Amino acid sequence: MRPPVQLWLCTQPTDMRRSYDGLAAMVRRQLGQNPLSGHGFLFINRRRTQLKCLYFQAGGYCVWSKRLERGRFAAFSPTAGQAIALSHAEFEALIEGLDLVVTKRRQRWHPKVSAA
């Protein structure tokens, strides 16, 4: 399994009865993105106790979900139909129940990828 290229968190509460097609439609309509892009799209319900991740791999959609028995996922300020890009570290913090507030993102060196 290859991890999604980029993770996007939808800031609007989502009905967790939605599955593959409903979540893919939300990605297209609300976020204005392509669900077939290889990116992962995260959705959280209104009570912030459930999370779903939709992504596309070769051959089909994948949906991953988590339901908390206690506690809530971190709150994010809702912006009309937009998504927040999350790093893998921010995703891990969200899943582990940490409130991660980034006030300033520091630059890091990344090797240049050359087309071979």
75 compared with 3, residue with greater pLDDT: 75
For residue 81, the model assigns a pLDDT of 54
Report the candidate in 38, 75, 82 with the shortest Cα–Cα distance to residue 58. 38
Report the candidate in 34, 25, 14 with the shortest Cα–Cα distance to residue 78. 14
DSSP 97: T
For residue 97, the model assigns a pLDDT of 80
For residue 58, the model assigns a pLDDT of 85
CB 94 within 8 A of CB 52: no
Residue 116, pLDDT above cutoff 60 = no
Cα gap 54→51, rounded to integer Å: 10
43-91 pLDDT per residue, tens: 999 999 999 999 998 889 999 999 999 989 887 766 655 888 888 888 8
Give residue limits of the domains in the chain: 7-96
Tell me the pLDDT of the chain averaged across its residues: 84
